[in-house]
Structure 1
């Protein structure tokens, strides 16, 4: 396929572009920064005209896209004022989703976030591991993701053959960032992420699986490593962090408290990288 990737110059974006190209697809990265070349087009996605034009076709790049992966965003709160984070990310996502609709692109995978499901979990979730049924935003970045999911869930119904998959990514860790797991035995390590993490390459694999499994309708999946980023057993962490919260009877010893059961069961997701194995680096 010919696939567009917004935010292709970011941490997850680079891994996704690399994975999709390795799978044999033609990939065009749309971003404000990147390496000039046949696989990159500089686009200000906050400008709807530029966005639509880029999705319809770009001379010497593509004359139409079979699918679109939307990863572009201001990635966290704090880089710009809070309201600007929300306003930019929501406008960009609307431009991309509506532009894709106008351009006739019917297969989309969009990046949502753990921030749409309770991060930083100052308020205890209703049950553990936390699955896709729980939605709670506690900052403007998360609020934007909740709004983007709602827009996607509505817009997918505008075309009978449209498929939109929202992937709720947790903290993405690059291959050269494993040193942080030296703190994995600390009780408070990754507390705000309920112990979760995902290698960028496995995040890219989740995108590839979502594209392969695309079918009409809207779906949302958590994306995290199936095992936690903590050296402390998960049931022990649950008791320390969220006393009294119900825990699944079949919770694995080091199973992520951000549930990945749905994406494993429905898309066949299986992480290839684990900080516990030296070969992961």
Structure 2
């Protein structure tokens, strides 16, 4: 397939581009900055005209794409004022998703977030492991993700052939980014992430699987590693962090508290990387 990747120079974008190219796809990257060359075009996605034009075709880059991976965003709260985070990210996602719809693209995978399901979990989740059935935004970044999921859920109503998969990524760790796991024995480590993380290469795997297996309609998938980022058993973490919150299943020793069962069952997602194998 010929696939457009927005945010192609970001942490997930680089891993996704590498994975898709290794799988034999032709990839064109769209971002605000990046390397000059035949696989990249600088695009201001906050401008709807540029977003739509880039998806329709770019001279010497492509004359139409088969699928879209949308990763471009201000990645966290705090980099710009809160309202700017919400306004920028929701506008960019609308431009890209609606532009893809207008361009006739039928397969879209995009980055949602654990921020749409309770992060930083000052309010306990209703159950553990928490899954896609729980939606809660506690900051403007997360609020934007909830709005974006709503947009996607409505767009597929407009086109019964359109497939959109929203991947609720947790904290993405690059291959060389495991230094912080030296704190893995501390109870407060990754408390705001309910202990979760995902290797960028597994995030890219989830994208590749959603592109391959995503069916028409809109689906949300939580994406994390299979284990927590701590040396404390998961049942102990759940009891210490969220006393009284019911467990929906017996937990493996270090099993993730962010359920990836849906991605496993529907997409065949099996994470391959763990900080324990460093």
Residues 1:166 and 2:162 aligned together: no
Retained in 1: the 8 A contact 2:214–2:267?
no
Query: Offset of 1:252 from its aligned partner?
Result: 1.5
Tell me how far apart the structure 1 counterparts of residues 249 and 273 of structure 2 sit (CA, whole Å).
26
Retained in 1: the 8 A contact 2:131–2:222?
yes
Tell me how far apart the structure 2 counterparts of residues 249 and 50 of structure 1 sit (CA, whole Å).
48
Where in structure 2 are there 5+ consecutive unaligned residues? none
Give the match for residue 112 of structure 2. Answer: 112
Residues 1:175 and 2:175 aligned together: yes
Tell me how far apart the structure 1 counterparts of residues 100 and 267 of structure 2 sit (CA, whole Å).
24
Q: The residue matched to 1:99 in structure 2 has which SS?
A: helix
Tell me how far apart the structure 1 counterparts of residues 271 and 166 of structure 2 sit (CA, whole Å).
18
Give the match for residue 85 of structure 2. Answer: 85
Residues 1:202 and 2:202 aligned together: yes
Query: Offset of 1:248 from its aligned partner?
Result: 2.4
Tell me how far apart the structure 2 counterparts of residues 157 and 26 of structure 1 sit (CA, whole Å).
29
| Cα-Cα RMSD | 0.6
Superimposed CA distance per residue, residues 15-50 of structure 1 (whole angstroms, 9 cap, x where no aligned partner) = 000000000000000000111100000000000000
Q: The residue matched to 2:108 in structure 1 has which SS?
A: strand
Tell me how far apart the structure 2 counterparts of residues 87 and 41 of structure 1 sit (CA, whole Å).
24
- Equivalent runs, 1:189-228 vs 2, <5 Å: 189-228=189-228
Superimposed CA distance per residue, residues 188-210 of structure 1 (whole angstroms, 9 cap, x where no aligned partner) = 00000000000000000000000
Query: Offset of 1:215 from its aligned partner?
Result: 1.6
Give the match for residue 13 of structure 1. Answer: 13
Residues 1:96 and 2:96 aligned together: yes
Query: Offset of 1:167 from its aligned partner?
Result: 0.2
Tell me how far apart the structure 2 counterparts of residues 147 and 226 of structure 1 sit (CA, whole Å).
28
Residues 1:271 and 2:271 aligned together: yes
Superimposed CA distance per residue, residues 89-115 of structure 1 (whole angstroms, 9 cap, x where no aligned partner) = 000000001100110001000100000
Alignment TM-score, normalising by the size of structure 1: 0.98
Residues 1:150 and 2:131 aligned together: no
Q: The residue matched to 1:276 in structure 2 has which SS?
A: helix
Query: Offset of 1:230 from its aligned partner?
Result: 1.0
Give the match for residue 75 of structure 2. Answer: 75
Residues 1:134 and 2:141 aligned together: no
Tell me how far apart the structure 1 counterparts of residues 234 and 125 of structure 2 sit (CA, whole Å).
15
Give the match for residue 258 of structure 1. Answer: 258
Tell me how far apart the structure 1 counterparts of residues 7 and 277 of structure 2 sit (CA, whole Å).
30
Q: The residue matched to 2:219 in structure 1 has which SS?
A: strand
Query: Offset of 1:266 from its aligned partner?
Result: 1.4
Tell me how far apart the structure 1 counterparts of residues 43 and 120 of structure 2 sit (CA, whole Å).
32
Q: The residue matched to 1:219 in structure 2 has which SS?
A: strand
Tell me how far apart the structure 2 counterparts of residues 115 and 151 of structure 1 sit (CA, whole Å).
17
- Equivalent runs, 1:55-70 vs 2, <5 Å: 55-70=55-70
Q: The residue matched to 1:150 in structure 2 has which SS?
A: helix
